[in-house]
């Protein structure tokens, strides 16, 4: 199962969803960089619940690379594999954050999810790492890796 066929994989809708758009000089409304990036990750996952593939694709940088057990995939492959994927529910636990610059950060967490992929129900737990950056006022995921949790 492709990470971002299950997630994000896991990749920004900032230009389309004003509630997540912030000023170009840092987080808005007292929100920290960590809070902003985790909010982006949750919003991306929410597009997989709603089935809005266009919004999902907007979260992924054009040059993004996502890695899972099947190997690396670019944006086009990620979006294609997500077409027959729908999250029903998910939780994020063990949230960790590493700031990289005022406009980027790395997040790591345990994703527990249920959903449907290619017509079959699934339940999974994976460790996710995702690198988010802001460019031109928009947040996008540029890298993500998913590792099955035991």
CA distances from 11 to 119, 121, 133, 150 (A): 23, 23, 10, 25
Per-residue pLDDT of 126-138, as tens digits, reads: 999 999 999 999 9
Q: Which of 30, 40, 50 is nearest to 10 (CA)?
A: 40
CA distances from 119 to 11, 84, 98, 122 (A): 23, 8, 37, 10
Write out the two tokens for 41.
């990750």
Determine how β-strand 60-68 pairs with β-strand 138-148.
parallel
Q: Which of 36, 46, 49, 54 is nearest to 138 (CA)?
A: 36
pLDDT score for 30:
76
Q: Is the pTM of this model over 0.75?
A: yes
Cα dihedral 33, 88, 69, 79 sign: negative
The helix (H) or strand (E) run that includes residue 54 is helix 53-58
Which option is the CATH number for 3-148: 3.10.450.50, 3.40.50.720, 3.10.20.310, 3.40.50.10490? Answer: 3.10.450.50
Ranges of residues in the chain with a pLDDT under 70 are 1-29
């Amino acid at each position: 199962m492709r990470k971002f066929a299950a997630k994000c994989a896991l990749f920004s809708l900032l230009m389309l969803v004003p509630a997540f758009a912030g000023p170009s000089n840092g987080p808005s409304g007292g929100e920290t960089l960590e809070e902003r990036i985790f909010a982006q990750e949750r919003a991306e996952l929410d597009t997989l619940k709603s089935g809005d593939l266009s919004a999902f694709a907007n979260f992924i940088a054009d040059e993004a690379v996502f890695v899972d057990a099947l190997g690396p995939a670019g944006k086009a492959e990620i979006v294609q594999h997500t077409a027959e994927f729908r999250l029903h529910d998910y939780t994020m636990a063990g949230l960790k954050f590493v700031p990289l610059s005022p406009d980027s950060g790395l997040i790591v967490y345990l994703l527990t999810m249920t959903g449907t992929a290619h017509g079959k129900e699934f339940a999974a737990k994976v460790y996710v790492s995702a690198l988010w950056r802001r460019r031109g006022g928009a947040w996008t995921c540029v890298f993500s890796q998913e590792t099955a949790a035991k």
